[in-house]
Structure 1
Amino acid sequence: MSSITLPPLRAFTNYALPPRANPMVFHPTPRTPKFSLAFILDDNRPLTPPATRNQEAKVQPTQHPIAKDRKRKRKMTAEEKRAARSCCIEGCTNYTIDRGLCFRHGGGKSCSMSGCSASAKHRGLCWKHGGSTLCTVEGCTRGAKSRGLCWSHGGGTKCSVANCQKTTISKGLCWTHGGGKRCEFDGCKRPASQKKQNFCTK
């Protein structure tokens, strides 16, 4: 049996394409040093610097936060603060306690006695029903104003007029020096009653 002789193999080169690098051969570069993970794993892709990666990972916000316009409240003057805390009854300058009223005009808790709308002073009762402390003078049944004494026995604040020993009614003055309310009737100097619409009892 005769043997067949084959022609020698020839390697053809394609000049249209660049020569392909051997994937098994890898040379270290400045981007992929010898001790880098890419060199150990034989990865021929250059490493990306960490700074570049962080910059690429940042996502620019699409919307800017809207600044809220906060309205600043104007500071109240001393007169406005005083008016806001004053009793709502016309002509009364006392401070409010409850419901826009001062103690004299029904502010605060009411008397626990049925049918009584006066403000409670002590033990849930008004001064008419025993809610106030009695005068310490023996035999006196009036309510004590200060220092354990009633008006008649020297309790309460003294009149601001010099050498006056009487007790103040309002505005730091006693009745003689202009304290308290007067009847609104022309020429009448008697005490005014709120129940009588600021007129006297006559």
Structure 2
Amino acid sequence: MTVANPMAFHPVPKFHHAPSSPGSPKLALSFILDDNRPLTPPAATRLQKSRIAPTQHPVTKERKRKRKMTPAEKRAARSCCIEGCTNYTIDRGLCFRHGGGKSCSMPGCTASAKHRGLCWKHGGSTLCTVDGCTRGAKSRGLCWSHGGGTKCSVANCQKTTISKGLCWTHGGGKRCAFDGCKRPASQSKQNFCSKHQPKMAKPSTITVQCAQ
């Protein structure tokens, strides 16, 4: 009697499956074992094929860029609208001197308010922080005499600017309109200094005698 060797190799019989039909469900054994069925392309490939060529839009016209203003034009645009005044505007096209900004809250006062709704005459200004100084502070808590305000733009000059970034010595401030005069001028004196300020004509008095 011959005994079968349990360690002997027995070849596994090959199963021949029938090709799946197009209508076979994907979970069926014939569909899974069908080697002749083409693989589904990757999602990226399908997406690339499904893309439609983008429509070409007409080239839009470039927006016209606004021309930059020159420093002189910027200065003119920010100047007070009162003729002859070169101060910067605060409100309604007017500077502080000509009514721009809020007025002082004191009854009858038409000056511009500085702080707390008051002008500098009625306590609206901040005093200099130097002991014993009663002048108004310009910047950093100091008055002009003690270093407040902006320094002159000229190198090594420690004086305070008056206008255009310059102190009085280097051309800042307004000069007298009288020919050849370099004294300080103000608009209240019609752009003249105290010496050349036009004198107002005194009103003439007429004496009327009543007939007796």
Classify the TM-score, shorter chain.
Answer: 0.5 to 0.7
Q: Structure 1 length normalisation: TM-score? A: 0.57
2:181 corresponds in structure 1 to: 188
2:128 is aligned to 135
Q: Which residue of 2 aligns with 1:197?
A: 190
| Cα pair distance change 1:85/1:168, threshold 3 Å | closer
**Mapped partners of 1:190, 1:179: distance in 2:** 12
Task: Give the counterpart of 1:125 among 92, 98, 118.
Answer: 118
- For residues 1-202 of structure 1, the aligned pairs below 5 Å read 75=66, 77-79=68-70, 83-202=76-195
The amino acid across from 1:125 in the alignment is L
For residues 187 and 83 of structure 1, do their structure 2 counterparts lie closer, same or farther at Cα, with a shift above 3 Å needed? closer
What is the DSSP-based 3-state SS (H/G/I as helix, E as strand, rest coil) of the residue aligned with 1:83?
helix
The more displaced of 159-168 and 98-107 is 98-107
Relative to structure 1, the CA distance from residue 132 to residue 84 in structure 2 (aligned partners, 3 Å threshold; closer, same or farther) is: same
For structure 2, list consecutive stretches of 5 or more residues without a partner in the other structure.
1-63, 196-212
Q: Which amino acid counterpart does residue 78 of structure 1 have in structure 2?
A: M
Deviation at 1:89, TM superposition (A): 3.0
Total equivalences in the alignment: 131
| Consecutive unaligned residues in structure 1, runs of 5 or more | 1-72
Report the secondary structure of 2:183's partner residue: coil
Larger-gyration structure (1/2): 1
Structure 1 position 104, deviation (Å): 4.1
Offset from partner CA, 1:2-26 (integer Å, 9 cap, x none): xxxxxxxxxxxxxxxxxxxxxxxxx
Identity %: 92
Q: Structure 1 residues 200, 81: closer, same or farther in 2, change over 3 A? A: closer
- How large is the RMSD of aligned CA atoms in angstroms? 2.5
| CA–CA separation in structure 2 for the residues paired with 1:100 and 1:151 | 28
Give the structure 2 partner of residue 34 of structure 1. none
SS at match of 2:188: helix
